[in-house]
Structure 1
Amino acid sequence: MTDSRPQDINDGQGLDGGGQRLPPPGDPADVLGKQSLVALRAPAVRRLLALRARGGLTRQHVRLAGECLGASERTVWRWLAEASQSPAAAAHPGARHTGRFEITAEIRVLLAYWHGNASAVHRQLMERAAAEVGGPPAQTSGASMSVPPDIVAVPGGAALSQVPLLDPVPSLSTFLRALRRDLTAGECAGLATGPEAARTHDVFGKRPASWRNYAWETDHVQAPLLVDADGDLVRPWITWFIDTATKVITGTAVTPGHPSRASVLAALRAAVVRDEPYGPAGGVPELVRMDRGRDFLSATVTTALGAMGVTVKDLPAYSPHLKGTVESLNRAADRMLFAALPGYTAGPTGPRSERRGRSAGAVPALSFQDFTAEVLAWTNWWNTEHRPKALSGRTPLQAWQADPTPVTDIRAADLWAFTLEDDGRP
């Protein structure tokens, strides 16, 4: 039976009062949001089911509902078919089925044995299922896959019982889709390469906001360029201290050779003294974070810091994220300073070999004195003109001067005694 009541001639036709077709609506998700569209699915499907029960459901109704819900006409027809078979499907149209394949803990262990090789894991899952039934290999949705007669052993000498028995075994496309859905990029990198690769994808929490001279960080960085030091082409090193709260570089030392405790002491003295030509930022910090380099943890450096009452925080090995402020400074110097200087020998893939790169005579190398002047000028620019995003439009020096925290100073004459190395003789 059909509904004998009069119906509006425009019902479901998408026409205005003059008989003209209405323009298609815009993206509903931009107007209502995805959560609202999902909530509107059930009322829309119930309305369409009611129209079907009355015999008044047309294709235009389904198309219009799909346009308003941000779904295709075919998807709406599928919702109606599922709702006709199950009341639960009518209450939550388009909801994911709970029976979908997911990556279990046993499969994660198998992925670790295979170093993240998804195809090898899937092949072994099929072989395990075929060996259990003693018949032909498990069939997947699609073409059948042949399995070698000998079951591939689990890497590392693990027993075959480590391979979980799945019934049924999902297809390779389903297995790969589950991997992309259930495993993070860090987990995939860790399975393939190791924990160091996984750590590059980790998100680390920020330390709470502090005040000036609460914590400094120090590090060495080698400039990827060649400079002329008394006729020899060398790669210079920079040692600097940076205040973590205000991002101001407090002290810098440049050396033509590999840095030592002497360069650390020189940078420390430049960081603490605030008289000309140093300062105005500086003073005595409460703690200094450094890596486990022999020069940083030498008795001379730790004694000098201890004499000034500074806490030394030696960080664990392979943990650059624990001193992210100075590591960010190293990266900024490479991109903003070193890359603009002649003799730069690094590229998108890192430093190039001196022999395989451009020859030393192709570009005149800076003298070591000129390179030092460039570094000090860039350091001054960083402190007085650069405006890091974390400082809300202020320069590091402005942030340091705006901090009301008292500064502890040490006289330059006393600092000489703190930074002298004892030769052990009376």
Structure 2
Amino acid sequence: MKHRLSAEERAALLRQHLEDGVPLARISGQAGIPLRTLQRWTAGFRAGGSVETLGRQPRSDRGSHSLPPEIVGAIEGLALRRPAPTIAFIHRRICDVALDRGLPAPGYSTVRSVVAAIDPGLRTIALEGDAAYRDRFELVYRRTASRANEQWQCDHTELDIEIVDAAGARARPWLTVVLDDYSRAVAGYTVFTGAPTALQTALALHQAVQRKKHPAWPLMGLPDLLYSDHGADFTSTHLERVCLDTHIRLIHSLPGVPQGRGKIERFYRTITDGLLPHLPGFIPHGTRGTPVTAPTMTLEQLDAALERFIVDEYNQRTHSETGAVPTARWQAGGWIPRMPARPEDLDLLLLTVAHQRIVHRDGIYFNGLRYLDLTLSAFVGESVTIRYDPRDMAEIRVWHQDTFLCRAITPELAAGTITFRQLKAARSARRNELKKQLRNKLSLADALPADDRYAPPAPVEPTRASQQPMDEKQHQLRIYAED
């Protein structure tokens, strides 16, 4: 039987009786509503009521209780204990307490309603601690940029994937990202193995500031403000010097408070949900670090996949919050980004890997490669400082006594780019191949028969039979008669 009707349905039934003259008994049989209920609705409507008030009115004391304050406090105190007890346990304890004090025992539903009415913030602090309360309930000042390159965010994250490193072992890579706050476009990134360092941060910033070789990646220039977490690499003296020399304002989030970096955290979720599940070695959440499939990708292959995803997909599709394509939003307005006065100054600040080399007549030798430039002809025999980007070994930057000289290029890699890791891997593979050939050749040599062509013959040891007469003859005394 249908007892709960909407206001429109009740009005339609009353019109049948009041306007069309349909008896209430027939309406009761057709609609399945008790005749007494229809009569009450009709009387209430004729008395000046409205259709919305025709149903049964809720009790005025619904949701309230008449428990003494001391019982209510006891219920709340039990519910806020850690670990949180069940409602059944609280009900049993409160019934015992009420019986001891000569008070009526509350019902189970009453105890449950008191527990449900506890302030969620109070419950969170009691059961989960201050950090959980801060993350859920405290107000957060969310920085919002009004134009492109006004504010960049930079942060690290450990990716939910395993790769195969240069030694053939499994490793969890890290990702450092520089994100433009206004457009949500990625300005630069670097992926690496090992703990995050100031070098990885510098490489990501260097890529973010410089003009990209990819035509679909227009982001470049210096930001007005760089917002990062409170890690040791972000609070280093070197990064402060970089920001001071490039006129960038550096701001750190509070230690252990990540809410202000929600935009870059959201990008990391996009990477985790949109890219990593399609790669071998992906580690789903809650699997205790166990990949779904065996890892087969190298760091270079993961780097290439990240660049394709960032440049061709993420930066080119409409962002759900801004409602615009990140690269189009960054380029809107025809503005000109602020660039370093001299690009070599940025290299000096951000490319922190420096080595001393001697300029030879045929160039500079570094990591088995030869780098050339016409400027070096005037510095043959001089000691110079070289800096390089480990992701691109096609060129090096050369300084002489803190004066920038040139960018020397290696002819072997002039047509493309090769990373420092690839270079080391190639040299290691060649060295291992040579060692393998050496072991094979030595094993063949060891299997040859001994070389005894010019060896002296072994001495023949005399037998005892031939030895006895000789001994007797040797030791026999000669007498005069025998002579």
Q: TM-score, normalised by structure 2?
A: 0.58
TM-superposed deviation, 1:104: 7.3
Distance 1:110 1:253 in 2: 51
SS in 2 for 1:252: strand
Q: Which has the higher contact order (CA 8 A, sep 6+)?
A: 1
TM-superposed deviation, 1:245: 1.4
Equivalent residues of 1:116, 1:188 under 8 A apart: no
Q: Does 1:188 align with 2:123?
A: yes
Alignment correspondent of 2:133: 198
Which protein has the larger Cα radius of gyration, Structure 1 or Structure 2? 2
Change (3 A) 1:385 1:125: same
Question: For residues 219-244 of structure 1, what are the alpha-carbon distances to aligned partners after superposition, in whole Å with 9 as ceiling and x for unaligned?
Answer: 11122212122222212111111011
Equivalent residues of 1:111, 1:191 under 8 A apart: no
TM-superposed deviation, 1:291: 1.3
Change (3 A) 1:406 1:176: farther
Question: For residues 263-309 of structure 1, what are the alpha-carbon distances to aligned partners after superposition, in whole Å with 9 as ceiling and x for unaligned?
Answer: 10000011111253585112111221211211222222222122211
Alignment correspondent of 2:303: 372
Q: Does 1:396 align with 2:326?
A: yes
Question: For residues 110-159 of structure 1, what are the alpha-carbon distances to aligned partners after superposition, in whole Å with 9 as ceiling and x for unaligned?
Answer: 6545554464666665555555x4xx5x432xxxxxxxxxxxxxxxxxxx
Distance 1:23 1:336 in 2: 58
Q: 1:229 pairs with 124, 142, 165, which one?
A: 165
Alignment correspondent of 1:60: 38
TM-superposed deviation, 1:395: 0.8
Alignment of 1:12-411 (within 5 A): 14=17, 16-17=19-20, 19=22, 59-63=37-41, 68-69=51-52, 72=55, 75-76=56-57, 94=60, 111-114=79-82, 116-117=84-85, 119=87, 129=98, 133=101, 138-140=103-105, 170-184=106-120, 186-202=121-137, 204=139, 206-208=142-144, 210-230=146-166, 231-277=168-214, 279-347=217-285, 349=286, 351-354=287-290, 363=294, 365-392=296-323, 394-403=324-333, 406-410=336-340, 411=342
Report which stretch shifted further, 410-419 or 121-130. Answer: 121-130
Change (3 A) 1:323 1:405: farther
Equivalent residues of 2:76, 2:114 under 8 A apart: no
Report which stretch shifted further, 61-70 or 221-230. Answer: 61-70
SS in 1 for 2:124: helix
Distance 1:23 1:312 in 2: 76
Change (3 A) 1:23 1:259: farther
TM-superposed deviation, 1:177: 1.1
Distance 1:204 1:381 in 2: 36
Change (3 A) 1:368 1:128: same
Equivalent residues of 2:162, 2:281 under 8 A apart: yes
> 5+ residue gaps in structure 2?
1-12, 355-400, 402-483
Distance 2:238 2:330 in 1: 29
Question: For residues 80-132 of structure 1, what are the alpha-carbon distances to aligned partners after superposition, in whole Å with 9 as ceiling and x for unaligned?
Answer: xxxxxxxxxxxxxx47587666897887566545554464666665555555x
Equivalent residues of 2:227, 2:252 under 8 A apart: yes
TM-superposed deviation, 1:181: 3.3
Alignment correspondent of 1:417: 348
Equivalent residues of 1:188, 1:198 under 8 A apart: no
SS in 2 for 1:346: coil
AA of the residue aligned to 1:232: A
Equivalent residues of 1:288, 1:310 under 8 A apart: yes
Count of aligned positions: 326
Change (3 A) 1:339 1:23: farther
Change (3 A) 1:365 1:178: same
TM-superposed deviation, 1:23: 11
Change (3 A) 1:203 1:378: farther
Q: TM-score, normalised by structure 1?
A: 0.65
Equivalent residues of 1:271, 1:282 under 8 A apart: yes
AA of the residue aligned to 2:305: E
TM-superposed deviation, 1:312: 1.5
Equivalent residues of 1:118, 1:176 under 8 A apart: no
AA of the residue aligned to 1:396: P
Equivalent residues of 2:151, 2:181 under 8 A apart: yes
Change (3 A) 1:300 1:382: farther
> 5+ residue gaps in structure 1?
1-9, 27-56, 80-93, 141-169
Equivalent residues of 1:211, 1:405 under 8 A apart: no
Alignment correspondent of 2:418: none
Equivalent residues of 1:382, 1:396 under 8 A apart: no
Distance 2:19 2:250 in 1: 77
AA of the residue aligned to 2:110: T
